[in-house]
Amino acid sequence: MSTPPGALAEPGIFQRIPEDHLALLAEHARQVDLRPGAALLREGDPADVFYVLRAGKVAIELFVPSRGLVPIETVGAGGLVGWSWLFPPYRFVFDAHALSPVTAHAVDGARLRSLFTGDPAFAYDVLLQVSRVLAERLHATRLRLLDVYGNPDQS
């Protein structure tokens, strides 16, 4: 069953997408409800889905051999989890687990990739919004690195 188009727009990354493209996106989304601890992504698994969170919090984690899973980002309502569906070899590079009860829209990223070739305007609208998330995450990572490493010349 597909998601009502408006549900993807509020709150969320797709609130700026045109209605016809939002409707097409919603056709390939379904609502999921997850309990705390449930896995959304597992590193190495096929990346054929992404999640738009409506409620709850998700930890994006990286496996570090000496420490196990280390949280690197927390995503809340309106956020996106998973973008590996965009890039070959289409495998998740992180783990993600629900920190609280989560309601999300699971979007069929593999199907969207196939639609992109036939509808470049749709591809542009979706990718523009996903790219905004990528840019925000890179900026946040930069700030965290500055906080961790600081300026070694200042003591």
d(CA 42, CA 38): 11
pLDDT tens figures, 97-123: 999 999 999 999 999 999 999 999 999
| Residue reference for tokens 């070899």 | 89
Instruction: Give this prediction's pTM.
Output: 0.86
Strand pairing class (29-34; 58-64): unpaired
pLDDT score for 14: 86
The string of pLDDT tens digits covering residues 11-22 is 678 888 899 999
Instruction: List, in order of start, the domains of the chain with CATH numbers.
Output: 5-149 (2.60.120.10)
Higher pLDDT: 26 or 35? It is: 35
